[in-house]
């Protein structure tokens, strides 16, 4: 099937692309702080909403299912332009945060989580496609890794800040801030990112793009790797907050500290991927990272009731996962250049489906 043809993108000045990478990383810090705070603080949200932890776990499953719809959602910037896709995603995120802030019930909480993740999954494929068109493949590993810092810094800075705000003002305290920050980010993107810069012909609709992607063996196997790795990672994501609180009697502050350790591990994985994947090769980096991640999962059985040992193994588990996944993302941006945003949307869907399946496995655990 013939891929879409596109007008050549003019190279961006170095200082221009660097400033936009910084904007993307900071915006992802906001989105991912909202996304990730639920994991270590799951018992706190359950108590605040007057439901049990399993109910919040099911809410996370529904959120992940909403993320699995992202092949259609994430492809929107292939049709309306990268800037419009970014801004739309940020407005959806802000709307979700405002919704649960104004109506703090469990039902609204579930709906708001889904709306916020839809916004996240519109925004992220748009920036990945944007960078895929403006950064040479030989440097794309470092570029993508720089934007991924917003993922790890969410656990290092964002989640502890949320825990602090919740401890002082109640479980819904972070949501007004997320609403405001999302709107500010949308305005900054509208002002600084150039408008529609692509002339798209050929594969105009997302379902045609999707069919072409699924029948592409490299894209299919890349998506399969992302799916299964994410299932494994999500089991640990959902369980570790309750595990820490129940096994080691870790307090709210301790859960925030555990989140910092996980964030530090992911930060190390992102930095290593940025430094190594362009030199070692994206495919080799993916194989190395996910292979070591499998060994890390086995090693977690050997913590022996020691909090220090459990934290050390948790650190290695998240470091190796992040190294593998961050190495995979720039590889994915080049597997189907004719519909980058659609492919990255399907990639986000693989993450979403993997998280949904992982959460379903984790709930009985």
> pLDDT value at position 285?
95
> To the nearest whole percent, how much of the chain has pLDDT over 70?
88
* 119 within a domain of the structure (yes/no): yes
Average pLDDT over residues 333-345: 80
> pLDDT value at position 215?
80
* 178 within a domain of the structure (yes/no): yes
The domain that holds 206 is classified in CATH as 1.20.1250.20
Number of domains in the chain: 1
Residue 142 and residue 149: Cα distance in Å, rounded?
A: 11
Grade residue 180 by pLDDT with cuts at 50, 70 and 90: very high
30-34, 205-209, 228-232: which range is least confident on average? 205-209
248 versus 43: which is more confidently predicted?
43
* 51 within a domain of the structure (yes/no): yes
305 versus 42: which is more confidently predicted?
42
Give me the residues paired with residue 201 across strands: 5
* 90 within a domain of the structure (yes/no): yes
Give me the residues paired with residue 5 across strands: 201
Grade residue 355 by pLDDT with cuts at 50, 70 and 90: confident
> pLDDT value at position 199?
45
Grade residue 200 by pLDDT with cuts at 50, 70 and 90: very low
Residue 279 and residue 263: Cα distance in Å, rounded?
A: 25
* 19 within a domain of the structure (yes/no): yes
* 281 within a domain of the structure (yes/no): yes
φ, ψ at 5 (rounded to 5°): -105, 150
pLDDT at 84 over 50: yes
Q: What is the DSSP string of 225-260?
A: HHHHHHHHHHHHHHHHHHHHHHHH---HHHHHHHHH
Grade residue 25 by pLDDT with cuts at 50, 70 and 90: very high
Report the SS3 class of residue 201: strand
Return all residues near 360 (Cβ < 8 A) that are at least 6 apart. Answer: 61
Return all residues near 26 (Cβ < 8 A) that are at least 6 apart. Answer: 150, 185
Q: What is the residue range of 51's domain?
A: 14-194+202-362
221-274 pLDDT tens trace = 889 999 999 999 988 888 877 777 777 776 666 666 777 788 889 899 999 999
204 versus 301: which is more confidently predicted?
301
The per-residue pLDDT of the chain, averaged, comes to 84
* 8 within a domain of the structure (yes/no): no
Grade residue 162 by pLDDT with cuts at 50, 70 and 90: very high
* 5 within a domain of the structure (yes/no): no
């Amino acid at each position: 099937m013939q891929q879409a043809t596109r007008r050549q993108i003019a190279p961006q000045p170095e200082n221009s692309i660097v400033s936009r990478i910084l904007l993307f990383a900071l915006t992802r810090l906001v989105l991912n702080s909202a996304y990730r705070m639920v994991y270590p603080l799951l018992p706190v949200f359950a108590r605040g909403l007057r439901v049990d932890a399993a109910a919040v776990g099911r809410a996370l499953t529904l959120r992940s299912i909403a993320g699995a719809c992202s092949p259609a959602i994430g492809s929107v910037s292939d049709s309306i332009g990268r800037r419009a896709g970014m801004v739309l995603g940020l407005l959806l995120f802000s709307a979700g945060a405002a919704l649960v802030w104004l109506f703090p019930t469990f039902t609204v909480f579930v709906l708001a989580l889904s709306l916020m993740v839809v916004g996240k999954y519109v925004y992220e494929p748009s920036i990945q496609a944007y960078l895929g068109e403006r950064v040479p493949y030989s440097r794309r590993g470092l570029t993508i890794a720089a934007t991924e810092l917003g993922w790890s810094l969410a656990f290092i800075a964002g989640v502890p800040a949320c825990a602090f705000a919740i401890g002082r003002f109640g479980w819904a305290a972070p949501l007004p801030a997320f609403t405001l920050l999302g709107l500010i980010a949308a305005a900054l993107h509208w002002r600084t990112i150039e408008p529609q810069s692509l002339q798209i012909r050929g594969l105009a609709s997302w379902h045609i793009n999707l069919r072409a992607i699924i029948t592409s063996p490299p894209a299919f196997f890349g998506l399969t790797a992302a799916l299964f790795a994410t299932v494994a990672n999500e089991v640990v994501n959902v369980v570790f907050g309750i595990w820490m609180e129940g096994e080691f009697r870790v307090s709210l502050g301790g859960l925030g500290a555990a989140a910092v350790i996980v964030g530090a591990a992911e930060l190390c994985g992102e930095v290593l991927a940025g430094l190594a994947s362009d030199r070692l090769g994206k495919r080799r980096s993916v194989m190395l990272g996910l292979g070591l991640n499998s060994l890390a999962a086995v090693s977690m059985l050997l913590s022996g009731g020691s909090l220090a040992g459990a934290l050390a193994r948790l650190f290695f588990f998240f470091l190796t996962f992040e190294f593998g996944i961050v190495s995979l993302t720039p590889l994915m941006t080049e597997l189907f250049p004719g519909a980058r945003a659609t492919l990255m949307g399907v990639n986000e869907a693989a993450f979403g489906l993997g998280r949904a399946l992982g959460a379903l496995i984790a709930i009985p655990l």
